[in-house]
Amino acid sequence: MYLKRLKELRVDRDLKQAKIATLLGMKQQQYSRYEIGVNEIPFEYVVKLAQFYDVSIDYIAELTDQPTSYFHKKSS
């Protein structure tokens, strides 16, 4: 699955692929393959990136245009 928002989120924050690759514990070349859609990114990395960027997984997957994160909402 090609997730174009991965690149958009990174570029909007002036981050290099190498920084995100380090966050995920991989080489820049491997992360690049996820970003351009050559390899499918594992779900665990999508979750990590959603937390890092403070957006929802739905936003990364382009299921919504609302970047609202659910990670910081408190349960009652």
Q: What is the DSSP string of 9-59?
A: HHHHTT--HHHHHHHHTS-HHHHHHHHHTSSPPPHHHHHHHHHHHT--HHH
Residue 64 vs residues 2, 42, 47, 71, 73: alpha-carbon distances, Å = 16, 20, 16, 16, 18
Q: Which fold has domain 4-60?
A: 434 Repressor (Amino-terminal Domain) (1.10.260)
Map out the domains of the chain as residue ranges: 4-60
Tell me the per-residue pLDDT of 8-48, one tens digit each, with 9 for 90 and over.
Answer: 999 999 999 999 999 999 999 999 999 999 999 999 999 99
Q: What is the mean pLDDT of residues 60-73?
A: 81
- Can you give the pLDDT at residue 25? 97
